[in-house]
Amino acid sequence: MIPHMSNRGAVVTGCGVINAISNDFNSFGDAMARAETGLGDISSFPADGLRNPRACEAKGFDAEAIRIKRGDKRMDRSSALTLAAFDQAMEMAQLDPATVNPRRGAVLSGSTLGGARTGMGYYRGQRAGKRRPSTLRDYSLHSPGYRLCIETGFMGPNLVYSTACTSSNLALATAQDLIRAGKADVVLVAGFDPMSEVSAAGFSVMRNVSPELCRPFDKDRQGLVLGEGSALMIVEAEDFAAKRGAPVMAKLRGYGLSSDAHHMTAPDVTAQGPMAAMRKALEMGGADAAQVDFICAHGTGTLHNDAIEAKALHGVLGERAAEVPAASIKSMVGHTLGAAGTMNAVAAMAARAKNIIPPTVNFREAEANNPLSCASAARTGQPSLVLSNTLGFGGSNCSVLMELA
């Protein structure tokens, strides 16, 4: 990470989002207000043998339209998802890339599998004796980031993180560093992951996929439900955004990173890692735990992950952890893997625009130990200081503190 060399603020001026319940920022807020869920039968590939043949696919998204618009019929779905979110965010931010010094424009992204679907298609073709290496052009994790650089002309850092569920939250954290260190004026921060056989099979084998619904923080939860999508944010230096009169949706106050150093998949039952990440985010943001008024939780719906996150929240917020409104959007859009961080952040802003607290769909009853204040329906509210968590496999933890406009 880059050391903080100034107090230059980082603000969000535009957002774009594609997921199982919406194809843009405004409809995302509306769908959350209606407590919609995108759960349905998997249509991307044969789901025979999976623990749950259902997931939250972005079935309303037209990837082919993006391919046609860009004149690239071989574009992978991950790139199409990212470019669709990019188009929305740029329009919302009213940003002309030509007004940005190209060497002070950066692209940061996070993903778990990137173009895994393209890779699967290639290897199937290889087995059938139909080798087309050109189809692998968009296979790598960094392809969407390169496309964003080409679209904008940005010549600053172009980095992609793949740290399981914390991937795009880490990208968001790095954006704060680049701006506060005076290294960039504008940073595109993207999280993306398409539905893939690789992830579906892997999670099914580990038996942490729910056989029915995703019930984050519910005492009867049985596991996660996979999702897909992309969420992209335009993060600008506060002075740069003010100079051009840009709309400000949120200010990034701080972040915290930690590692459990415990196990490849199982979280540390002491919850020390997540607690450290949250406390670091509050410290960097100059905020007290008593000021947090919304928890945008990681909340996968798995037995151990939710228990550890709830324990960590109680460790950081104390008794207020049972009172501060909390939500897991994975109950609606599924677990979007590397996109989970930016998806959470955009959800918080979309909910604030509708004056609601997002629901945790399917939530019925909290656990007796370390209960959180979740609700199955949207609640009226105007959250201001948001703690957004991502906790990944291998013990990767990242918390981001956001002040909503």
Query: Which residues are marked as active site?
Result: 165, 298, 335
287 exposure class (CB count in 10 Å sphere: 0-12, 13-18, 19+) = middle
- Which of 62, 42, 25 is CA-nearest to residue 249? 25
**Which sign does the torsion angle of CA 376, 25, 154, 248 carry?**
negative
109, amino acid identity:
S
Residue given tokens 């002040």 in the structure block: 403
CA 171 to chain centre: 10
**Which sign does the torsion angle of CA 16, 17, 22, 23 carry?**
positive
CA 149 to CA 97: how far, in whole Å? Answer: 10
320, amino acid identity:
R
Conformational region of residue 104, where left means phi above 0, alpha means psi within -120 to 50, and beta covers everything else: alpha
Contact 333, 29 (CB under 8 A): no
**Euclidean distance between the first and final Cα of the chain, in Å?**
27
- Which of 213, 165, 216, 225 is CA-nearest to residue 193? 165
312, amino acid identity:
A
The angle, 0 to 180 degrees and rounded to 10, between the axes of the packed helices 272-284 and 303-317 is 40
DSSP letter, residue 244: T
Contact 163, 259 (CB under 8 A): no
CA 322 to CA 46: how far, in whole Å? Answer: 42
Q: Strand (E) positions, 260-310?
A: 294-296
